[in-house]
Amino acid sequence: MAMTDLPIMKRYIRTCRDGWDQGWHERNGGNLTYRLTKAEVDSMRTFFNDKPGEWVNMGVTGANLAGEYFIATGSGKFFRNVDIDPEDSLCVVEINDKGDSWRIVWGLVNGGRPTSEFPTHFMNHSVRCAATNGACRVIYHAHTPNLIALTYVLPLTDRDFSRVLWQSATECPVVFPGGVGVVPWMVPGGAEIAMATCEKMKEYDAAVWAHHGLFVSGPDFDTTFGLMHTIEKAAQIYVLAMSCGQGIRQTISDDGLRAIAHDFGVKIKEEFLD
């Protein structure tokens, strides 16, 4: 039995592979973090390094995540390589008792640090954990091409993106009835974009980063990957329809969106409907 045989590691690694297979992770693009359960941490302890790494301050604080452990992709690592070399590509980090620093307890055997977006992931975990009573465990960032394309042509508002995506596939209002948030273009990797994304994640479980990609959150890999996939596919359908060159002739009406929400028992964000 190795660390990478643990069921949670297998699922994490498969999710990285799935994202690569979708074409969302050119070079070192994208990042994935998972907040481990106490039982999962216990199942890993025998594999942890004898001596943990140094504490590294994050520049942000999530007091509700003090003492938690995360699996994270490494900064500069390629999703493409995760399944053939997980020990080089991934790490497990422990958070200190203030909720403002991490240290590596497993992985990144050839050196490195968690993803450059770790402050954003960490703050999103903090907000989504609070918003979902602890249910949220996964934050996933990918470079989804069709959705990125839409950030060049649609107004950068939560309402415009939510409506276009809901209208582009009948399942969408069921999968993300709360809509999506949109973060204007910013330099990635710092505290500013972390804070702006968090503001959106208080309300949404998905935040579009203009001209960059998408952040999604969820309780497990299937739901979270499924949300990324559904949003990107809706964007793709819209791009395909517009590419036919005659504009949108007909779409799902607002009463149609209401009817889907009603029949599937979800609460659609009414202020985005006419």
Report the catalytic residues. 117
Tell me the closest approach of the beta carbon of residue 101 to ligand 2HA, in angstroms.
20
Cβ-based neighbours of 97, under 8 Å, separated by 6 or more: 66, 67
CB closer to ligand 2HA, 53 vs 189: 189
- Residue 62: contacted member of ligand 2HA, Zn ion, none (CB under 5 to 8 Å, by partner type): none
Binding to ligand 2HA (CB under 6 A): which residues in 83-142?
Answer: 115-117, 141
Report if residue 29 touches ligand 2HA, rule: CB under 6 A: yes
- Residue 31: contacted member of Zn ion, ligand 2HA, none (CB under 5 to 8 Å, by partner type): ligand 2HA
CB closer to ligand 2HA, 29 vs 219: 29
In the DSSP assignment, the letter for residue 99 is S
Size of the site for ligand 2HA (CB under 6 A): 9
117, 26, 106: which is closest to 71 by C-alpha?
106
Backbone angles phi, psi at 177, to 5 degrees: -65, -25
**Position closest to Zn ion via CB:** 213
Answer for the pair 29, 143: CB distance below 8 angstroms, yes or no.
Answer: yes
Provide the strand spans (E) within the chain.
Answer: 31-35, 56-57, 69-73, 90-95, 101-107, 138-142, 181-183, 206-209, 213-218
The three-state DSSP-derived secondary structure of 172-237 is HHHHCCCCCEEECCCCCCCHHHHHHHHHHHCCCCEEEECCCEEEEEECCHHHHHHHHHHHHHHHHH
Answer for the pair 30, 142: CB distance below 8 angstroms, yes or no.
Answer: yes
CB closer to ligand 2HA, 28 vs 89: 28
Burial category of 218 from C-beta neighbours within 10 Å (exposed 0-12, middle 13-18, buried 19 and up) = buried
CB closer to ligand 2HA, 141 vs 163: 141
Number of Cβ within 10 Å of residue 24's Cβ equals: 23
174, 158, 154, 184: which is closest to 227 by C-alpha?
174
Measured in residues, the chain has a length of 274
CB closer to ligand 2HA, 77 vs 269: 77
Binding to Zn ion (CB under 5 A): which residues in 196-225?
Answer: 213
Binds ligand 2HA (CB under 6 A): choice among 8, 24, 31, 168:
31
Report if residue 151 touches ligand 2HA, rule: CB under 6 A: no
Report if residue 218 touches ligand 2HA, rule: CB under 6 A: no
Tell me the closest approach of the beta carbon of residue 17 to Zn ion, in angstroms.
18
The residue range among 23-31, 87-95, 145-153, 167-175 that interacts with ligand 2HA, by the rule CB under 6 A, is 23-31
Binding to ligand 2HA (CB under 6 A): which residues in 161-200?
Answer: 188
Which spans of this chain sit near ligand 2HA (rule: CB under 6 A)?
A: 28-31, 115-117, 141, 188
Which spans of this chain sit near Zn ion (rule: CB under 5 A)?
A: 213
